[in-house]
Amino acid sequence: MSDPDVLRDRLLEVSPFDRHYGLEIVECGDELVRGRVPVREHVTQPTGIVHGGVYASIAEGLASVGTNHGVAAEGKLALGMSNQCAFLRPVGSGTIHATARRRHRPVGDGLARM
């Protein structure tokens, strides 16, 4: 396998960082990516709730895997540029379930919104 092929295959999986905090991809397709993260002590703040950076990381991870899944067949790759998170309620136990949906697919090179 050539270096570009190895890179492309790696971009279709969760990154080493995503594995570190526990991101698991449950479903991945052209339009939708679902993932989950078990709440463990190392992803929480001193107050016992999940650290906000974990949510941002989940968003980045799901969007990156999903976008790469959508463009890999064309020989392209995608990297996250920004994300924005809003918190509705704190989570301190259980599992975080997250979904990323494609909102826009550019023609040619451009920005995809997840």
CATH 3.10.129.10 fits domain 3-100: yes
Q: Tell me the per-residue pLDDT of 18-42, one tens digit each, with 9 for 90 and over.
A: 999 999 999 998 789 999 999 999 9
Other beta carbons within 10 angstroms of residue 60's beta carbon come to 22
Residue 73 pLDDT greater than 70, yes or no: yes
Phi/psi class of residue 22: alpha, beta or left (left: φ > 0; alpha: ψ in -120 to 50)? left
What does the domain layout of the chain look like in residue ranges? 3-100
Mean pLDDT of all residues in 5-30: 84
Question: pTM to 2 decimals?
Answer: 0.83
pLDDT score recorded for residue 78: 78
Percent of the chain with pLDDT over 70: 82
Pairing between β-strand 32-38 and β-strand 24-28 as defined by DSSP bridges? antiparallel
User: When comparing pLDDT for 101 and 83, which is higher?
Assistant: 101
